[in-house]
Structure 1
Amino acid sequence: MIDMRTVVLVEGASDEAAILALAERQGRDLAAEGVSIVAMGGATNIGAHLDEYGPHGLGVRLAGLCDAREEAHFARGLERVGLGSGLTRGDLEALGFFVCVADLEDELIRALGTDAVEHVLDAAGELGAFRTLQKQPAWRGRPVHAQLRRFMGSIGGRKLRYSRLFAQALGPDQVPRPLHLLLAHLSATRTG
């Protein structure tokens, strides 16, 4: 039986993979700490998951990670289950819910830098495919950061694969703010 004390609600499997990879790099075993990461299949599913795990369900500690465009879904869901009202981003963070500035891929690409991201693509054997995307008329001349974000979403499974690889490539001082704060929050709840 799993000792589940904290549930981290995330939009998808790529978020879960990045969090697990970063925790592993810190020498942490989240499952052993009683932390379960639940990929919800999209932010609009937060209500059902809050009903299951929140104060009127299993009553476990909650945390989460979402994209900026989904922040309102998370805030409304938390408010609906009685965890606040008129929640600001600061309120969300106090509850253990953190917001990526665009999305997870954007955070990871900015943290690594485009040169390092291209090195990861090269090591994974996909730099050639990325160069092909860069030559397409719609993407030619666009900022490399934007091209990389598009590339991550161009084939199913790519976000999942690279969220793990990018997280593994980050230096200790490069961890994006929302991921750093989430892992710190999980450490605090482990001892608190």
Structure 2
Amino acid sequence: MEATGGHGPVVLVEGESDAVVVRALLARRGAAADVVPMGGVTNLAAHLDPLGGPAPHVLALVDAPEVRFAVGALRRHGVRAETLEELGWHGVLVCDRDLEDVLIRALGPDAVLDALAGMAELGAFESLAQMPHWRGRPVAEQLHRFAGSGSGRKSRLAARLADRLDPAALPDPLGPLVDAVLAMP
């Protein structure tokens, strides 16, 4: 990736399914940004390097269990940030668990099940839900597991769920991310 030199916003995301969601939400709000899947948060520092490190035009979306990598990436660039608030000051926005969890909680299990039905994936989900390890668990947990299984399912489901979000009432950290891009020159 080449440094943007302040020419436009860059949003670094962990993977392709995250990029699908962020691109869709930005497009719906008329915001333009270069959304870059990093291939995992462990690559954040390497993606910040050609951008000159953390900068006002650079945002990153990371999962809570991976915050330590974001903290390390910022330190590598001379920025000390320990709390979620401090990370936010430097453009790092954190999903409570991960983006799939944010989407499932924001929309509710029924909307996710409806999206799966529209993808002709409901039968496959019901099979997973009946497996001994998953039987009796909360539907949201089953959906979270199912979203990450199957080739390409995560991105396909992410696109469907992004389309169902109300652009005027996006959940954290998606709302603040979109607002930050919209506020950039």
Structure-2 separation of matches of 1:89 and 1:168: 27
What's the TM-score once normalised by structure 2's chain length? 0.91
Gaps of 5+ in 1: none
1:5: which partner in 2?
A: 8
Deviates more, 1:11-20 or 1:172-181: 172-181
Give, in angstroms, the shift of residue 171 of structure 1: 2.2
2:47: which partner in 1?
A: 49
The answer to whether 1:185 aligns with 2:180 is: yes
What's the TM-score once normalised by structure 1's chain length? 0.87
The answer to whether 1:126 aligns with 2:121 is: yes
Q: 3-state SS of the aligned residue for 1:147?
A: helix
Structure-2 separation of matches of 1:17 and 1:4: 22
Letter in 1 for 2:60: G
Asked whether the equivalents of residues 79 and 87 of structure 1 are also in contact (C-alpha less than 8 Å), the reply is no
Give, in angstroms, the shift of residue 55 of structure 1: 4.0
2:150: which partner in 1?
A: 155
Aligned length: 181
The percentage of aligned residue pairs carrying the same residue is: 44
Distance 1:134 1:55, change over 3 A: closer
Counterparts of 1:3-152 in structure 2, within 5 Å, are 4-26=7-29, 28-30=30-32, 35-55=33-53, 61-82=57-78, 84-152=79-147
Distance 1:55 1:136, change over 3 A: closer
Letter in 1 for 2:166: G
Letter in 2 for 1:158: R
Structure-2 separation of matches of 1:141 and 1:55: 46
Letter in 1 for 2:17: S
Give, in angstroms, the shift of residue 4 of structure 1: 4.3
Asked whether the equivalents of residues 97 and 182 of structure 1 are also in contact (C-alpha less than 8 Å), the reply is no
Gaps of 5+ in 2: none
Letter in 2 for 1:124: M
Q: 3-state SS of the aligned residue for 1:177?
A: coil
